[in-house]
Amino acid sequence: MSNTITDTNFNFPNQKSVYKGKVREVYNINDEQLVMVATDRLSAFDVVMPKGIPFKGQILNQIATKMMVATEDLVPNWLTATPDPNVAVGHLCDPFKVEMVIRGYMSGHAAREYKAGKRMLCGVPMPEGIKENDAFPEPIITPATKAEMGDHDEDISREDILKRDIVSEEDYLVLEDYTHKLFKRGSEIAASRGLILVDTKYEFGKTKDGQIVLIDEIHTPDSSRYFYADGYQERQDRGEAQKQLSKEFVRQWLIANNFQGLEGQTVPEMSDEYIETVSARYIELYENITNETFVKADVSNIQERIERNVLTYLK
């Protein structure tokens, strides 16, 4: 097994606090900058798996930062630097407490709800007579409330977000606009690589001067689902499962091993061999979505490498 990073305890100059999310650890520097470390933790069904996935943090961080750069002409973002393969640095923001989930296809959670007989998702109607992995007539936004580590994100409607004053109507209109623009650009980038961007989520925050910016990750295998475009329609016509690049293959493996994050369920043991296959799938997605060969960073001592690179940047 390759060396992985599943936890950090850095103490950077002028560090105010550290927030540990499901897969990222965010260091507040002087209430001005955030140093975001992408770990190799794997989360599924809102549960963090016991073992790390080699190179996963590097893959997520590098895809997200490349996609931030590829969309900054459309939507402003928080990013200012990437001093290490696993690290992004950017402006301190006050995050909105909703995830803007957008779906172009009836897949994953939407398909599971549809199979259960539901025709409304987050207050948005899903048309009758479509089957799993069919495209929606237009992409739909199905927001989720942002969960603390270990809790489940929950579906929420636009109406409830406004009624509960989680986001003001003025700000929510901006979030919706940015979400549609980012998904359109993401879909175009995916198409140019022979992929279909099926669904994804975006997170936003406000800078100190009140600007709404894109934060966290974008178009990564943890936040997005991709299908291979080649053979998509043929597979749909034959009623076959789609060939996909996303974390869904992990979810399906967990479901097959009787785990969906429900009370009383135990996380199944992931063998070293299975973990290596998960790592290989993440590398495959990186190379497909970026059209670049993945270059593995030095993992002989990841903690030391990150600390050295961040300290050099902060100086």
Which CATH number does the domain housing residue 53 bear? 3.30.200.20
What's the rounded Cα separation, in Å, for the pair 175 and 76? 12
- Do 108 and 204 lie in a common domain? yes
| Among 56, 35, 40, 38, CA closest to 5 | 40
Residue 2 in domain: no
In which element (H, E) is residue 166 found?
Answer: none
- Do 20 and 58 lie in a common domain? yes
Residue 1 in domain: no
155 and 142 Cβ atoms separated by less than 8 Å: yes
What's the rounded Cα separation, in Å, for the pair 242 and 235? 6
201: pLDDT strictly greater than 60: yes
Average pLDDT over residues 94-103: 96
The pLDDT value recorded for residue 110 is: 96
The pLDDT value recorded for residue 192 is: 96
Model confidence at 2, pLDDT cuts 50, 70, 90, reads low
Residue 229 is part of which domain span? 95-246
Beta strands (DSSP E) in 184-311 are: 195-206, 212-215, 224-228, 244-246
- Do 70 and 115 lie in a common domain? no
Lowest mean pLDDT among 9-18, 163-172, 252-261: 252-261
Summarize pLDDT for 268-297 with one digit per residue, the tens. 999 999 999 999 988 988 999 899 999 999
The pLDDT value recorded for residue 251 is: 85
- Do 140 and 152 lie in a common domain? yes
- Domain tally, the chain: 2
The pLDDT value recorded for residue 185 is: 98
CATH code, domain carrying 231: 3.30.470.20
Residue 99's identity, in one-letter code, is E
Beta bridge partner(s), residue 226: 197, 245
- Do 132 and 234 lie in a common domain? yes
Lowest mean pLDDT among 94-98, 179-183, 192-196, 259-263: 259-263
Query: Of residues 158 and 147, which shows the higher confidence score?
Result: 158
Model confidence at 46, pLDDT cuts 50, 70, 90, reads confident
- Do 116 and 219 lie in a common domain? yes
What's the rounded Cα separation, in Å, for the pair 301 and 155? 40
